[in-house]
Amino acid sequence: MRGRLLASWLLLGLVLIAVAVVAAPGSSYSNQDREQPLAGASMHHLAGTDTLGRDRLVRVAAAFLLSLAGAIAAAAVTTAAAAGVGTLSAFSPATLGRLGMLVCDVFLALPWLFMLMMVRSALPLTTSPAHSAAITFLVLAALGWPACARAVYRGALDLRNSEWMLQARAGGLRGKQIARHVLPNLVPLLMPQFLICIPAFIIAEANLGALGLGIGEPLPSWGGMLLELDNSSMLLQTSWVYLPIALLILILLLLEAIAVEV
Amino acid sequence: MNSAVSLLKRLARTVLIVFLVVVGSTVLIRFAPGYLSDAREMDARYGDAARAELSAEAARSVSLRQMLSMEMSAWTNGSLGLSRQYDVPVLELVLPRLAVTGGLMLRAIVFAWSLALCASLLSSAGRNPSLLWQAPAALLLGVPTAAMATICLLAGSGGPVLVMTLLLAARDFKFLDRLLRMAWLDPHLLQARAQGLTTFRLVRAHILPSITPQLLALATLSIVTALSALVPVEVIFSVPGLGQLAWNAAMNRDLPVLLAVTMIMAIAVTFSGMASDRFGEWQRA
């Protein structure tokens, strides 16, 4: 419990610092300082600049906020979809329930990265960076729910067969009234699923971006910044190139710590 | 007789899932907003006539029914479709790469399982989860595969097998450690330990048989994890496997190739799941 609290405070601190960096007057993730490409740390650029002269610290902070917000939104959509499908399948007639789980199996049979690549490659060639970011997280949400729905289905089935539920149904409670009692009982199951999804989606976005299929430039993303590591000549010039990967690992570890302790 | 019927039912369900995957993926591709745009139309080397032919080809494949029937006939005649990028049957591209990917996955899974099993046996022997074992696993799980592969490449040590092994071992360890920790607390094992049975005998005769169904489920999960790691690993290490082929197809909008590779992966996942379920049932019987 103490570890989770510490991780939460640390993450909140990082978010506040990132907001302060991004919102500072004059800072923009796409502003180019053409005089100083690949510069080291200075008063103007605390973590140096990238090959195009853009401030690395601002880009890292913006990528952090963007990926965290996108992953949280996607995880919320995934969890809501899983809660809906799992609960409806459990409380429907058996045939409908089995059909719901068959749909889950179909989604689970598809390796997510291949599916993501397929959807991303079928987008128009002129997709804007903001749209590419929205679509990336939307696709992640659309592909992430089946495993969670299966867990919710099992939990909801147990609830359906519980004695208090039998009594409630025998007492004549209607569907809406039953749902009002079922959903709070599913929260202990949904909360870990939601928290597990956040780091998983951030990793997925980073992997996709590192393959050149993630969020489009000039929007900053973890994956886009990891691509810098491919340039070995750049690595010799400045060690600030490692900042994104170090920060990404730290954030993922904090998120994992929060998820594990729930 | 019952066993045969159950096997047939499971096989029918698996085939149905694969069929639905084919239909679902085709529908998804067809209604993707950029389906009709072709990267070749932007290639200056193509003349006006070729561009017109490409547009006509795209227009011909507008109907979903036609697309599905083409997909089905491509799979039934064994060609798996025609690559847009290379203009050759997809099967010719897939077959040589299948062995490379299969070999890489097999080696990674075997090494990862050995590593995870040894580590979790040592770790679970302790009373509480030790940070010595948990921290490296958490760290490995926190690094995106692409970043891990790039770091290994830059460091000049380790190759695709090592990266996949580490990733799979970390994930397997997380589950195995929890499984074994629970298994060690079984009352009959506590009594057996008190009577002086050796650890090796306890593990071989009592623990491993009792956790076999969970191990089989974990085996399927290992395959899914390995498939997910395949693309970044093969692309970064330039391994000429299915992952690299899929990435190349995605970058060049070669959808028939991408669709075929996705289907092959879906078939592998579904049938491995079915095999592990079946083996688990047989083991329990």
Residues A25-54: pLDDT tens digits? Answer: 878 887 777 777 777 777 777 777 887 888
Question: Helix H segments across chain A?
Answer: 2-23, 56-91, 94-108, 112-121, 129-160, 163-170, 175-210, 222-226, 232-237, 243-260
Instruction: Report the pLDDT value the prediction gives residue B181, as an integer from 0 to 100.
Output: 82
**Is residue B284's pLDDT more than 70?**
no
pLDDT at B39: 61
User: What residues of chain A score a pLDDT lower than 70?
Assistant: 1, 124-125, 232, 235, 261-262
List pLDDT tens digits, range B168-222. Answer: 998 888 888 888 888 877 888 788 878 888 878 888 888 888 777 778 778 878 8
Phi, psi of A28 (to 5 degrees): -145, 140
Secondary structure class of A112 (helix, strand, coil) = helix
pTM metric for this prediction: 0.81
pLDDT band at B76 (very low <50, low <70, confident <90, very high): confident
Q: Residue B90: is its pLDDT beyond 80?
A: yes
Task: Check whether B285 has a pLDDT greater than 80.
Answer: no
Residue B37 scores a pLDDT above 70: no
CB contact under 8 A, A124 and B33: yes
Mean pLDDT to the nearest integer, B18-45: 71
Q: Is the peptide bond before A218 cis (omega within 30 degrees of 0)?
A: yes
- Return the pLDDT at A73: 94
Interchain CB distance below 8 Å, A230 and B259: no
**How does residue B35 score in pLDDT terms, banded at 50, 70 and 90?**
low
pLDDT for the residue B281 = 65
Complex ipTM: 0.76
Q: pLDDT tier at B60 (50, 70, 90 boundaries)? A: low
What is the structure's pLDDT at B62?
Answer: 64
Each residue's pLDDT tens digit, B233-242? 998 888 899 9
Per-residue model confidence (pLDDT) at position B267? 84
Contact A125 B147 (CB under 8 A): no
Alpha-carbon distance of B52 to A62, in angstroms, equals: 43
> What's residue A51's pLDDT?
77
Min distance A23 CA to chain B CA atoms (Å): 28
- Indicate the residue of A106, A112, A211 with minimum beta-carbon distance to B232: A211
Determine the distance in angstroms separating the CA of B283 from the nearest CA of chain A, rounded to an integer.
23
A185 touches A83 (CB < 8 A): no
* pLDDT recorded at residue A81: 92
Total Cβ atoms within 10 A of residue B147: 24
Looking at residue A80, what is its pLDDT? 92
**Inter-chain touch B144–A248, beta carbons under 8 Å:** yes
